[in-house]
Amino acid sequence: MDWDAWTQQAWQARERAYAPYSKFSVGAVVVGGGRVFAGANIENLSYGLTLCAERVALGSAVVAGERRIEAVVVVADTDEPISPCGACRQVLAEFGDPLIRLVNRSGHLEFRLSELLPRAKAGILSPPPSPGSAPA
């Protein structure tokens, strides 16, 4: 667990956020298989199409072949640590139960995803046989 390096990468990614509407920039990294994938929020004139930093980073990880996510860092320049939205929690849960570090300007908090979103996969649909397997 190299939280300091990952946090630095998340702050760097935050510089690339496209947030002209909210003016609230967020950076994230997703770590899987020892590889680190960065993301930042990407907003849109049609507000609901905004992509959160977490999902941007996760998309890169999955397309690179990583389906087992072990850690996530989310950074924002706020007094209180921010917290991933419900949609991001659910999307992350598809690929594991990572530790999530929420970093702000003065400190951090850490949670297991399943603390932030209990029973994410309990319900109607059966999960795929090997959700964590590499692409065919």
Has 70 been annotated as catalytic? Answer: no
Note whether 84 binds ligand THU by CB under 6 A: yes
Please give the angle made by the CA atoms of 126, 131 and 134, to the nearest 5 degrees: 155
CA distance 47 to 107: 30
Position 44 contacts ligand THU (CB under 6 A)? no
Q: By CB under 6 A, is residue 41 in contact with ligand THU?
A: yes
Find the shortest distance in angstroms from Cβ 106 to ligand THU.
18
Q: Which of 8, 11, 60, 82 binds ligand THU (CB under 6 A)?
A: 82
C-beta of 122: minimal distance to ligand THU in Å?
23
> Is position 10 an interface residue for ligand THU (rule: CB under 6 A)?
no
Query: Minimum distance between the CB of residue 93 and ligand THU, rounded to whole angstroms?
Result: 15
**DSSP-derived secondary structure for 59-125:** HHHHHTT-----EEEEE-SSSS-----HHHHHHHHTT---EEEEE-SS-EEEEEHHHHSTTTT-SSS
Structure tokens that stand for 64 in this block: 């690179």
Residues 6+ apart with CB under 8 A from 23: none
Positions marked catalytic: 54
User: Rule CB under 6 A: which residues touch ligand THU?
Assistant: 19, 22, 24, 26, 41, 43, 50, 52-54, 74, 82, 84-85
